[in-house]
Amino acid sequence: MRILEINNQVGYADVDGIPFEQTLAKMCDHFHREACAISMALIDDATMHELNRRFLKHDEPTDVLTFPGPTATPGRLEGEILISTDTAARCAGDLGIRVEGEILLYFIHGVLHLLGYDDQQPTDAARMREMERLFLEQAGFAYLFDSDDLVDEA
C-alpha cells in the first residue's frame, strides 16, 4: 500500500506534472518498504519560517522539513514532508533549472530523512546526495549537486 496525500497550500499550478507518486513507489521498492504513507504540504517561506522556528528553533525559512509518523516501523514508511515552493523557485532560478525538479529534489530529500538518512556530517551527506541523484535522475531531472565536495578525502 502506497499513499501520498498532497496539500497544495500555495496553489502551485504545476504540481500534477511532478512525478511524486512514481518516485515514492520507486523509493519504497528500493528500500523494501511494504507500506508507505506520506503527507506532503507545499507551503510558502513565511509558513516555513514559522514552522522551522517552532519545531527546530531556527529563525529562518528552509527548503524542507520532515516529521516521522507515529506508526513508522522498519517495514512501513510514514511521515509528513513540508516543502517551501518559494525557496524552490528561488533556488531553481539561481541555478537556471525547472522549479519542478527542485521541488521533487526536496521531496526525495524529505523521504530520505524519513528513512533515517542524515546530512549533518559530510560522509552521511554524501550518501544522501547519491540517493537523491539516483531518484531524481530516474524521474528524468538533472542533478546538479556534486557530493564529492562534501567529503574530505585527505
Query: At 34, is the secondary structure helix, strand, or coil?
Result: coil
DSSP 8-state code for residue 116: T
Mean pLDDT by 10 residues, the chain (154 residues): 91 84 96 94 96 95 94 88 96 89 96 94 92 94 61 35
d(CA 139, CA 141): 6
Residues 110 and 62 sit within 8 Å (Cβ to Cβ): no
Contact present, 51 and 82 (Cβ < 8 Å): yes
Residue 145's pLDDT is 66
Model pLDDT, residue 142 = 81
Question: 153: which DSSP letter?
Answer: -
- Predicted pLDDT of residue 65: 97
The domain locations on the chain are 2-150
Q: Which fold has domain 2-150?
A: Collagenase (Catalytic Domain) (3.40.390)
d(CA 34, CA 4): 14
